[in-house]
Structure 1
């Protein structure tokens, strides 16, 4: 349960140049996503489209709707999508200005259970393995003293209590063993463990990024190591896939790595291209992620072994936001 004593208030903003360095152009990617995909209308899922059929679900770039392999894109329109347990999460960019993100929570039949609207542009979405705790990140634009500034806003929703934290930036942070305070602390990319309490995320401050381990009940977070962005916890809870900054070249900023939580040792995957995505685990051995499409429009889904072996393989052309959905429990 999220500590109700936590203070939730508007996020202070990082100057645009500083955040562009930290996020390496992710803002440009999301700002142009709708133009690249043709400005799709917001539509609901077809009645026959549910999460009851196991398989790979993803966002279809041609229609902006959720699709299943094999099958047609008959799900709701989303710009970011994720599902686990009995719940699915869809992020939509609402029309008009200022930019707003609509986070929609669904059951397995894609019946809307709750809708939350927050400032900014859709960026990351995750659901805990049980489906009871959800998180999303949006880019907030022009929300502070810096007229050209923006920040990320990360929200957490606990469906067990209905408690919503619209921005987690006030969570007490311990950095390097010391309680840390700074105006530029900025979180994104939350990923949950199976206990619905522990979570991992990226925190940026002072021009650096860190992997943090958080505790919802204790309402606290502590850094584990530097240079970790967009963590993704393996199904067995032992490893984290992440993007690591390895270059100042905009075309080769990141490399997809895997971190062993037992000893904090890391290794690169066989994917040598720059991955600007929060990878998803298709199973305990395989990662999926989006890369710019080979035709220069939208994105394609790729996969690669998590242990560093093998080679990348094209999974689904014209797609993003992958998630493996198992069969419904009986």
Structure 2
């Protein structure tokens, strides 16, 4: 049985818990189906898919609506949706193909936090709050992050079952915790955050070897760029997080023009933009900002959360 994991600050954010009623829809008998209208066009390049404040998955440039989700993500013609099932700490991951046909329905122990899809659409990932843990005032969480291979049906149920290395040494601490998976294009490599001993690290995962190797400290909620060369992430300074972009080749690190506190797993959007959620006028709102540190934040959608790129 996996050990209990406690971590200080995960990308399943306070914003989601405090303001999440704006876009959280508990799954009922009809959840997992669109509320009407044309289906999403998951193959349409350049569009942004997001979860609106009514809980429906929507797409820019279209009146189409997708399934009710708490969190969703689109890549490679695959749509992944995380639902809350009503009872506390009970979730379901439902995956759809490009024609909105259900490919997978997977019960998950925990409260929905994040989901991601590999560029090919073959791998789906999730992060959930663990059952039995609470959202405490000091910001501690216990989470589980896992991966499912749609090609083979292999269920990588928890990254806790992988072997992790820091400076060549196997990590055996009892307080290890993982969250925020993001995939490379080879369907073997991924990145995630690991926390232990009060320190967070960017970890590079190898699905074939079932290993995780530390890359850099103080990198949380990573999001890999489409070309696989950069990581958008949140960097902690004291009690605040600021969005940064890390170049994996040169090691150069750029603080983005969003100077406010952002506690979210960012998403790469078209035209070199980074999407993220932060409070605005009392609602969770999606902003974007250039990935090179230039420009200024701009509002994309009020009362919504980013879901990915169609």
TM-score, normalised via structure 1 length: 0.85
CA contact (8 A) 2:74 2:307 kept: no
Matches of 1:279 and 1:229 in 2, distance apart? 10
1:29 to 15, 22, 40: 15
**Alignment partner of 1:59 is 2:51:** yes
**Alignment partner of 1:165 is 2:152:** no
1:295 to 276, 281, 291: 281
Alignment of 1:306-317 (within 5 A): 306-317=291-302
Matches of 1:262 and 1:85 in 2, distance apart? 25
Q: Deviations over 1:133-186 (max 9, x none)?
A: 110000113169xxx985101110011110112211121011122222111111
Structure 1 unmatched runs, 5+:
1-8, 326-330
**Alignment partner of 1:321 is 2:306:** yes
- CA drift at 1:39: 4.8
CA contact (8 A) 1:152 1:187 kept: yes
Which residue in the other structure is 1:5 paired with? none
TM-score, normalised via structure 2 length: 0.90
Matches of 1:41 and 1:134 in 2, distance apart? 20
What's the secondary structure of 1:131's corresponding residue?
A: coil
Which residue in the other structure is 1:273 paired with? 260
RMSD: 2.2
- CA drift at 1:38: 7.0
Matches of 1:152 and 1:234 in 2, distance apart? 24
CA contact (8 A) 1:124 1:189 kept: yes
Which aligned segments of 4 or more residues in structure 1 are displaced greater than 2 angstroms?
21-24, 26-43, 70-73
Which residue in the other structure is 2:204 paired with? 213
CA contact (8 A) 1:153 1:187 kept: yes
- CA drift at 1:52: 3.8
- CA drift at 1:41: 5.6
